[in-house]
């Protein structure tokens, strides 16, 4: 016999409502936050930077990372946030902000090559969950 919790939206019977009419349905896993935080990558044109966040869960967890990027189309840092990974390429210019996650570490990295000498600091935030990838 299955056990769990269902909470339906107003006007819907919790016994018959479809998934879209339920506020909560523990038939499905709910993301559980293990850790979140912020950081920044300091990058000079042609170079890269990375940060390592250890989680030591022993398995690969789900993660979300959002941060600022360098746009090769505008030739400047974008102060708004996008979801990583993020890649741009135009002619001989490239920009890459990405991450890898394994059973012990989340590594957030970025770099750009615009053929200049600018230096920028790119802020990011991450969420790391107990839920397995």
Write out the residues near another protein by the rule CB under 8 A.
2-5, 26, 28-34, 36, 38, 56-59, 61, 64, 66, 78-83, 86, 123, 125, 127, 130-132
For residue 117, the minimal CB distance to another protein (Å) is 26
E strand or H helix at 104, and its extent? Answer: none
Cα 115 → chain centroid: 28
Q: How far apart are CA 97 and CA 122, in angstroms?
A: 10
- Which residue, 113 or 131, has its beta carbon nearer to another protein? 131
For residue 77, the minimal CB distance to another protein (Å) is 12
Closest C-alpha among 32, 20, 37 to residue 57: 32
For residue 96, the minimal CB distance to another protein (Å) is 13
Distances (CA, A) of 47 to 112, 117, 122: 6, 10, 13
- Which residue, 30 or 92, has its beta carbon nearer to another protein? 30
For residue 112, the minimal CB distance to another protein (Å) is 16
E strand or H helix at 131, and its extent? Answer: strand 119-132
Q: How far apart are CA 1 and CA 52, in angstroms?
A: 43
- Which residue, 14 or 44, has its beta carbon nearer to another protein? 14
- Which residue, 59 or 90, has its beta carbon nearer to another protein? 59
Tokens coding 83: 């979801």
């Amino acid at each position: 016999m299955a056990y769990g919790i269902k909470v339906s939206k107003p006007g819907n019977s919790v016994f018959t409502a479809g998934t879209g009419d339920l506020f909560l349905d523990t038939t499905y896993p709910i993301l559980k936050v293990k850790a979140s935080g912020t950081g920044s990558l300091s990058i000079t044109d042609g170079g890269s930077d990375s940060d390592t966040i250890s989680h030591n869960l022993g398995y690969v967890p789900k993660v979300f990372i959002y941060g600022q990027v360098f746009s090769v189309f505008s030739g400047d840092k974008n102060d708004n946030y996008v979801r990583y990974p993020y890649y741009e390429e135009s002619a001989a210019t490239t920009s890459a902000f990405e991450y890898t996650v394994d059973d012990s570490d989340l590594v957030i990295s970025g770099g750009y090559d615009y053929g200049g000498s600018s230096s920028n600091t790119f802020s990011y935030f991450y969420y790391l969950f107990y839920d397995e990838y």
